[in-house]
Amino acid sequence: MQRSAVIVGAGVVGVASAYALADRGWRVTLVDQGAGPASGASHANGAQLSYCFTDALGSPSTFAALPKLLFGKGGVTIGLSARLDYLCWLARFARNCTAAKFRTNTLSVLQLAAESRAAMDRLCDKHPLEFSHRVAGKVNLLYSQEDERRSASIMAFKRAEGCEQTLVDRRELEQLDPALEGLDDEVTGAISTPSEVVGDPLLFCRSLVNVLTREYGVTARFDTGVCAIAENAAGASITLSNGEQLRADMVVVACGHASNRLLGPLGKAVSMQPIKGYSFEMPLANGSPHISVTDGKRRLVFTNLGDRMRVAGIAEVGEGSRDIDPGRIEWLVRSARESLPNGGDYSKAGQFWTGLRPSTPDSRPVIRRAGKSIAINTGHGSLGWTLAMGSAERLAGLVEN
């Protein structure tokens, strides 16, 4: 008999989960409170499929910078709050800042990223989706010998897992993409990863939902919030904001940073905090690089989406509001211009957006059962777009057994 699933949340993780189950023959209903897919963190994120840059946020260098970040106004800030869940998260995060944990967490996500790349390739071979998907390559700018030394040691342990990265100097950087000539003078070199990929997550979600409803019989319900989930001997049921109830053999919670609103009442909340970020877009200019650029010093990324440049950055740990702070946007545009002065037409910067990264203390997503008929797929932090396809495959493997 065909099994049924309700996926709550139609961001990249929920849509990918719907595909993984529908592809295995499940009857799937996808429910989201937004007007369409990708109305949360997936909407206008950095658009990078960072299959090799899986470095965990918690590391000895992050730990050393913690006092500065607590009061900082730069790219990364840690908010102050006496909320117990937040303090517990911070304590767990601090425990994940050792060199050993950094390595374990980074490698664990690297494995999931490799599964994601393979799953994405299989999907794109089967369905020609339009989402500006291409191998763009990426450079991660370095500013000092200390940066280079640290990067070399991280590259070494990732290389052992098949990750092709090299250190390039300033001259080689300009050979990779002549548009990088105008970089900040202080840049000494970069890590180059030729295999990194870009793609627009909003277009991906829209195209895949179209395929799912047209070819896999998936029902997509938007403008429909889920208020509660309950489990009984026959399966699980969800209560929608209009009072309606839906029953299914399996309910998957994929609500990003909002997942705990549904999991908390079940006693299944996961340790997760929002990390707020921003993005904007601008028209391409003569000096726009084709290659993706990550500026770790300013904590921002540039992604050429073919017809526009997207810039994303800022990490405000523990900040859960979705209001756009004009001061932060001003900071992001100014910092991007300092980093890559000819990266795009800054005079036409627009599409200002903010989103909340659903972040766990160890930078690893939570993919597990929360009951016989309830499963969780959330907590993907800064890499949800990268990890969505592999996470969906793991989730499907979990609930099929």
- Using alpha carbons only, give the angle 366, 372, 373 rounded to the nearest 5 degrees: 80
Number of residues that bind ligand FAD (CB under 6 A): 44
Q: Which stretch binds ligand FAD (CB under 6 A): 6-14, 18-26, 72-80, 185-193?
A: 6-14
Between 297 and 310, CB nearer to ligand FAD: 310
- Taking residues 105 to 144 in sequence order and writing x for each that binds ligand FAD by CB under 6 A, - otherwise, the string is ----------------------------------------
Between 179 and 198, CB nearer to ligand FAD: 198
Asked if 27 interacts with ligand FAD (CB under 6 A), we say no
Between 312 and 317, CB nearer to ligand FAD: 312
Asked if 12 interacts with ligand FAD (CB under 6 A), we say yes
Question: What residues numbered 328-367 form the site for ligand FAD, per CB under 6 A?
Answer: 355, 357-358
Between 29 and 382, CB nearer to ligand FAD: 382
Binding-site member from 5, 7, 26, 33 for ligand FAD (CB under 6 A)? 33
Q: In angstroms, what is the minimal distance from the CB of 352 to ligand FAD?
A: 11
Binding-site member from 132, 361, 378, 392 for ligand FAD (CB under 6 A)? 378
Q: In angstroms, what is the minimal distance from the CB of 383 to ligand FAD?
A: 4
- Residue number closest to ligand FAD, CB atom: 384
Question: What residues numbered 139-178 form the site for ligand FAD, per CB under 6 A?
Answer: none
* CA dist list (Å): 14 to 11, 155, 235: 5, 31, 20
Asked if 199 interacts with ligand FAD (CB under 6 A), we say no
**Residues found near ligand FAD in the complex (CB under 6 A):** 8-14, 31-34, 39-42, 45-48, 50, 225-226, 254-256, 258, 261-262, 277-279, 301, 312, 355, 357-358, 378, 380-386
